[in-house]
């Protein structure tokens, strides 16, 4: 990877550049090469299909971390209007790894909360790479309770490499903050829609991940541990991460199959980073559709169904 595209994207990107160069050349020199260009575009389509229709779990992990992948703030800007960001947990600090506030989704007020990784180095440091501290989980919970108080639905965007493992995080109760969110989110009496848009690493993701609908973008991942963490523990070798990604079954199709998520949100060909606007529109439509469905439920039904959803999760054998 060169910071702009992934190794397996290279042939596609190179061919796209070549086509663009030819088009520019034809225009500049006013020569007729449209047949050649058309042929190349056909080749490109075929190549794209070859590359993107058979992605390995590890390739999807890489797409989820793509340097140009849209992050939570991109979705907030493209899906909503009149966003007012609200800061702080009213106890210790404002965690920059998570943003949240009120916004209008198709004119309707909602609370939207997302983990934000940042794009360039400066932003990434400012956002702590999307790794939340306890005050982040507490800020998110504060906003969710505010949302419930005024009967507004909650939209959550998950994109984190994990909760931050540091001294301050332990001193301020990372475990307690996450546990409390799990407990409270199960009984917040407004619709909660969870969207995993990039990385969903372990407790750091689940800590804002309890809701009525759980959606997952096609090239995102969600797992009990990152492939690197798993590889270094089980194989004592980080270079085994691709195998770990395979073994952990962390991609959307598998999670749909075992009932952990409700729906896979398709991405534009090549991944979300190839067309921000289209991706945001696709996601927004799914969210609006789900909100409409959830509004038909009474608060009791909503909470009953939410608890049932998580109550059922797990696979075991009951010997007689």
Positions in the binding site for other proteins (CB under 8 A): 163-167, 169-176, 178-180, 182-184, 186-187, 202-203, 206-207, 209-210, 222-225, 229-230, 233-235, 247-250, 255, 258, 260, 306-307, 310-311, 313-320
* Nearest residue (CB) to other proteins, 96 versus 309: 309
Cα Rg of the chain, angstroms: 21
- In whole angstroms, the minimum distance from the beta carbon of 145 to other proteins comes to 13
Question: Which tokens sit at 301?
Answer: 């039904």
Output the smallest distance, CB 253 to other proteins, in A. Answer: 13
Q: Which is nearer to other proteins, 123 or 243 (CB)?
A: 243
Shortest Cβ 320–other proteins spacing (Å)? 7
DSSP letter string, 87-133: ---SSS---TTEEEEEEEETTEEEEEEEE---SSHHHHHHTGGG---
CB of 140 to other proteins, least distance (A): 15
Cβ-based nearer residue to other proteins, 39 or 175: 175
Among the listed residues 104, 122, 101, 124, the one whose alpha carbon sits nearest the alpha carbon of residue 112: 101
* Closest alpha carbon to 210 in 103, 137, 266, 102: 137
Instruction: Give DSSP secondary structure letters for 15-40.
Output: HHHHHHHHHHHHHHHT---HHHHHHH
Whole-number minimum distance, CB 111 to other proteins, in Å?
Answer: 20
Nearer to other proteins, 107 or 314 (CB): 314
Name the pairing type of β-strands 263-265 and 213-217.
Answer: parallel
Phi, psi of 279 (to 5 degrees): -60, -45
Q: Please, which residue, 274 or 306, has the CB nearer to other proteins?
A: 306
């Amino acid at each position: 990877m060169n910071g702009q595209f992934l190794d397996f994207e290279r042939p596609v990107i190179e061919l796209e550049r070549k086509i663009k160069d030819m088009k520019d050349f034809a225009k500049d020199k006013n020569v007729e090469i449209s047949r050649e260009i058309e042929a190349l575009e056909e080749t490109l389509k075929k190549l794209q299909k070859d590359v993107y229709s058979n992605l390995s779990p590890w390739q999807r992990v890489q797409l989820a971390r793509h340097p140009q992948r849209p992050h939570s703030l991109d979705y907030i800007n493209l899906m909503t209007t009149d966003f007012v960001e609200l800061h702080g947990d009213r106890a210790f600090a404002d965690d920059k790894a998570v943003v949240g506030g009120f916004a209008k989704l198709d004119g309707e007020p909602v609370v939207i909360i997302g983990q934000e990784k940042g794009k360039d180095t400066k932003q990434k440091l400012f956002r702590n790479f999307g790794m939340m501290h306890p005050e982040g989980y507490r800020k998110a919970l504060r906003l969710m309770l505010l949302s419930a108080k005024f009967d507004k639905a909650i939209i959550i965007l998950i994109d984190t490499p994990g909760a931050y493992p540091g001294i301050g995080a332990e001193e301020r109760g990372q475990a307690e903050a996450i546990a409390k969110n799990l407990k409270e989110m199960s009984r917040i009496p407004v619709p909660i829609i969870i969207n995993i848009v990039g990385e969903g690493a372990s407790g750091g993701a689940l800590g804002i991940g309890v809701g009525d609908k759980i959606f997952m973008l096609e090239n995102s991942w969600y797992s009990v541990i990152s492939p690197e963490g798993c590889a270094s523990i089980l194989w004592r070798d980080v270079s085994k991460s691709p195998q770990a990604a395979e073994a952990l079954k962390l991609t959307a199709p598998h999670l749909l199959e075992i009932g952990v998520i409700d729906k896979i949100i398709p991405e534009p060909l090549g991944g979300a980073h190839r067309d921000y606007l289209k991706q945001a529109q696709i996601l927004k439509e799914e969210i609006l559709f789900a909100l409409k469905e959830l509004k038909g439920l009474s608060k009791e039904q909503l909470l009953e169904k939410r608890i049932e959803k998580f109550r059922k999760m797990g696979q075991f054998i009951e010997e007689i």
